[in-house]
Amino acid sequence: MPDFPLDLTEHCISTQTLSSGVMLTVKCDQVRLPNGKVSQREYVVHPGAVLIVPVLPNGNVLLEKQFRYALHQVFIELPAGKIDANEETLTTGQRELLEETGYSAKEWIKLGAQHPCIGYSNEVIHMYLAMDLSQSAHQRDEDEFLELFDASFAECFTMIQNGKITDGKTIAALFLAEKYLQTHS
């Protein structure tokens, strides 16, 4: 790991809210750059999210197909959802897995965190591996539409390589989950 000899920090001078929708808050800060000049930085304020890699007893991964409006496209992705106020990330993971898929898991393993959009969002996604799954009924909101299916890790990696899985958070998490399972089996 190399050193950071230069101080690359940009310091906040002032902050203002550009827009505050039902879902998205966007801020614009005046910042002082490392060379002393002043510039602007705009970014989405996000509460953080939790993503789950649910592994079925046969070793397959449980995946979702979901329509994502921003891109007008159905995506294959891992279950994930936003952290509620004051919620522990493990609780978010357990809640989202149950709500979206109807599965609960006995074993939860933290895989780490990823930052999906460092250019213009402060979102962090905490990632968990969920093992020893058992099924009950899902508890999706009536306005939440998705389909479930499962695939082996090998099938997932083929879908990444042939462009059927392009969701960044899902690619990163599948990669980390497989590395974890390889090291700990």
Catalytic residue positions, numbered: 142
Q: Binding of a second copy at residue 4 (CB under 8 A)?
A: yes
- Residue from 79, 147, 152, 184 touching a second copy (CB under 8 A): that is 147
Helix or strand holding residue 66 (H, E): strand 61-68
Length of the chain: 185
Phi and psi (nearest 5°) for 173?
-70, -40
Q: Which residue lies nearer to a second copy by CB, 106 or 137?
A: 137
Contact pattern for a second copy over residues 72 through 111, marking x by CB under 8 A: x-xx-x----------------------------------
> Which one, of 153, 160, 168, lies nearest residue 59 by Cα?
153
> 16: which strand partners?
28
Q: Binding of a second copy at residue 169 (CB under 8 A)?
A: yes
Q: Binding of a second copy at residue 66 (CB under 8 A)?
A: yes
- Residue from 57, 163, 184, 185 touching a second copy (CB under 8 A): that is 163
Q: Which residue lies nearer to a second copy by CB, 90 or 154?
A: 154
> 60: which strand partners?
none
- Residue from 31, 56, 131, 181 touching a second copy (CB under 8 A): that is 31
Q: 132 — alpha (psi -120 to 50), left (phi > 0) or beta? A: left
Phi and psi (nearest 5°) for 66?
-140, 140
Q: How many CB atoms lie within 10 A of CB 100?
A: 24
- Residue from 57, 70, 137, 185 touching a second copy (CB under 8 A): that is 70
Q: How many CB atoms lie within 10 A of CB 63?
A: 26
Q: Binding of a second copy at residue 28 (CB under 8 A)?
A: yes
Amino acid at 94: Q
| Selected range binding a second copy among 21-29, 85-93, 101-109, 129-137, rule: CB under 8 A | 21-29
- Residue from 57, 86, 106, 143 touching a second copy (CB under 8 A): that is 143
User: Tokens standing for 82?
Assistant: 């936003």
Q: Binding of a second copy at residue 58 (CB under 8 A)?
A: no
